[in-house]
Structure 1
């Protein structure tokens, strides 16, 4: 596993890794998140962050088009940690508010919405990043 550190204005490195767009990449994404949060002394966020990144990766696996995704963990400010998944699809995810019957799929963003302080999508010419932010403890 290669982890790339990039300097941030807050003095915290960012962590990112390109992964295959397969369900098994969620485990590698959780490891990357744990590494970043431990380095920043934010161990109390690990459980929620692991669930959030799992859902974001799962959505990219289900809906993106190319063979790879990029998982990004940053500190946009001293107050928040941002977990993101970048893919080449321009399709914007939406929060499902229907019960979807007995189907257990399709409700991942409800979990992201419940566990994060804010979440959203940054659109790019070539794709998007879906992200969630957790407030530091």
Structure 2
């Protein structure tokens, strides 16, 4: 997993417009980059809604928020519309970005193993360095904790 102090790996993502972009587009200001397993599932929906509820506060603190999953752009568009999400989402369907961050890993549920996204959040400064990592995120209260860390960056 990418650690505090590391330079952010750059790999292409797809925005909702279907166009490819890299994190370079967010340089110059803090970026909250959160990875979630699957759109429109209970935990992922609550996390996206929590970040959306605080979206204006993140903007006031000068930070952008970007959620990443392996969902298709089409599914992400429906997810945003269904819940009126106020944060940017991007698709990593091929998984290269997730692998670069080290959050694509073996998981297990009900005794079976499978590969999946570890729910994790990275706070990245304007220079592209990771200043804080939240591995294995528990959703409740997480967005607020991340906002406090953004505000502490000053």
TM-score by length of 1: 0.28
Which structure has more RCO (C-alpha within 8 Å, separation ≥ 6)? 2
